[in-house]
Structure 1
Amino acid sequence: MLIAGVVLLVVAVIAVFVARSERGKARKATATETLSCGDVATLSSGVAAEVGAGSFSQRCEAVGTAAPGPDGLVDAPESQVDAVWVRTKVIHKYWVMEETRQDGKTTRTRREREETVSENESTTAFQLTDATGSVVIRPDGADVDRPEKVVDRFEARSAMNQAGEGFLSSLLRVGNDTGTLGFQHQEWVIRPGEELYVQGEVSDRTGPLVFAKPEDKGDYLISTRSEDEIVAGAERNGKIAVAVAGVAGVVGIVLLIAGAVTA
């Protein structure tokens, strides 16, 4: 009971931190100033006229549609769809034999395991456009929220070319106690024309106006959800975390007291 009580108290503490984090997300979204692409350009021009180009920096949020940047579309290797941003992930799924001993008896059990062997995100700049203009989006360092999943495919070992050479083939586990089940291929994208909500820092330090991760390491969010959806989701998650913290805390204390009494 003592161990269970301690575990529940740890869960309660973690839930409190989660609740604070989610409430913080909601506050930031509602407190951050919303600017159009035209507003950003006007502010930047005003600062440039006063103190010179390269001096403008503003934390804000903007809403618009995704469009290709100067370098065009990015490669979506799994789906081959048109995209301005892409994330790919490959998960190696395999099995291992685990041994346990009890009462002098050895039991061997097959367990499934997995590990990520490849995960990449594109860093090619794209644009956010609205009726008033456009701003460049540099996605590196951003928390990309709810991108569209376009591939979630499991490639079983039996379907793979075992004689083939290459990266995935080299990862096949051999031996009596391990074996590859296969590889899970996943891919997420942001397509041209996707409605986006962006929260971060826009500046002209590098020349054109660019949304990027704030220099003070603050939050940088690119989301396919609206601000209202983000706020509602964060508030809901915060309430759930508070409820979990309360229940886990009370039960944990009860178990600690009961364990101390019976010890």
Structure 2
Amino acid sequence: MSSLFVASGIMLIIFAVLAKIGGSTLKSNLRHLKDSDPDKIIDMIQLCHKAHFSLGEGNFAMTFEGQTKITADKKCLSPLGKTPCIYYKAQIHRLVGKAKIKEKVFEKEEFTDFYIEDDTGKILVQYRDLKEQLQKMAKSHFDEFRQNFHEFELPIAQNHETVIGYQLQEHIIPVGQPLYIYGQATDRNGELMLARFLQGDQPFIISDLSKREYVSALQKEVKSIDYGVPLMFFVGLALVIYGYLGE
């Protein structure tokens, strides 16, 4: 039993240290966002053209932050909802037996290149640097696609089990979605695009929240970490001491 207290205490201390590190990153992000002002896409385009003459192509890099929306030349079409989008993940689960056990019978996921635009122009986004954020941001829709259900050839249930029904789910980021974005406008890959920063600790952020909402959520997360880390550390330390004294 004593060793269990010690192990639990050590785990809590480790979690506290990791949370502290994560909190430092969030605070750094918050500092960058508080100090930044919104930009216009046309300004990035014009500055990039000027940089071609003075620095040569491939050397332009500048921080961009703006309230924009998604557009795309080549759109994805979500298989269930038939929605034009730049990302989707569609799933169909079969509910089997009295316990309604879920069996995945269909899954498909797709990204496409996309642009962000404001009232002055548009710019390509290096979405490969944002895959995890995009997946988290995608809205989840359940059972809204019955009209398209007949299009899928689904496998037959095994062992003669009773099929109770099907659950349809789709995560999408539609074309036209408003976005707050913070990243680096650069032509390092040939075309002007928004991408992650290659140097420094500035974040690459994409969010369906406004800047004010995003900063507010970040502040709440930092505050929770500031309160939670010391508590977690001291509880972990107390468990370790209690475990050693109990041996």
In structure 1, the residue matched to 2:162 is none
Aligned CA distance change for structure 1 residues 257 and 205 (closer, same or farther; 3 Å)? closer
Deviation string, structure 1 residues 129-166 (Cα, Å, up to 9, x no partner): 22222222232221338635152349xxxxx99xxx97
CA distance in 1, matches of 2:18, 2:102: 26
In structure 2, the residue matched to 1:149 is 139
In structure 2, the residue matched to 1:101 is none
Residue number among 53, 58, 67 corresponding to 1:63 in the alignment: 67
Residue 40 (structure 1) aligned with residue 44 (structure 2): yes
CA distance in 2, matches of 1:207, 1:49: 15
Residue number among 9, 26, 29 corresponding to 1:5 in the alignment: 9
CA distance in 1, matches of 2:93, 2:174: 25
In structure 1, the residue matched to 2:78 is 76
Deviation string, structure 1 residues 69-122 (Cα, Å, up to 9, x no partner): 333x32122221232x22315487999xxxxxxxxxxxxxx9x8999x856341
- Any conservation in 2 of the 1:4–1:252 contact (CA below 8 Å)? yes
CA distance in 2, matches of 1:31, 1:114: 49
Gaps (5+ residues) in structure 2? Answer: 160-164
- Any conservation in 1 of the 2:116–2:123 contact (CA below 8 Å)? yes
CA distance in 1, matches of 2:137, 2:188: 28
Residue identity in the other structure for 1:225: L
Residue number among 198, 212, 220 corresponding to 1:236 in the alignment: 220
Displacement after TM superposition at 1:238 (Å): 1.4
Displacement after TM superposition at 1:128 (Å): 2.0
Paired residue secondary structure (1:169): coil
- Any conservation in 2 of the 1:146–1:225 contact (CA below 8 Å)? no
Across the two proteins, how many residue pairs are aligned to each other? 234
In structure 1, the residue matched to 2:31 is 27
Please state which structure has a larger fraction of its residues in strand: 1
RMSD, aligned α-carbons: 3.9
Residue 169 (structure 1) aligned with residue 171 (structure 2): no
- TM-score normalised according to structure 2 size: 0.73
Residue identity in the other structure for 1:197: Y
CA distance in 2, matches of 1:140, 1:58: 19
Residue number among 120, 135, 139 corresponding to 1:132 in the alignment: 120
- Any conservation in 1 of the 2:6–2:243 contact (CA below 8 Å)? yes
CA distance in 1, matches of 2:158, 2:211: 46
Please state which structure has a larger fraction of its residues in helix: 2
- Any conservation in 1 of the 2:57–2:187 contact (CA below 8 Å)? yes
In structure 2, the residue matched to 1:123 is 112
In structure 2, the residue matched to 1:177 is none
Residue identity in the other structure for 1:152: F
Identity %: 19
- Any conservation in 1 of the 2:140–2:169 contact (CA below 8 Å)? no
Residue number among 194, 212, 216 corresponding to 2:195 in the alignment: 212
CA distance in 1, matches of 2:108, 2:83: 18
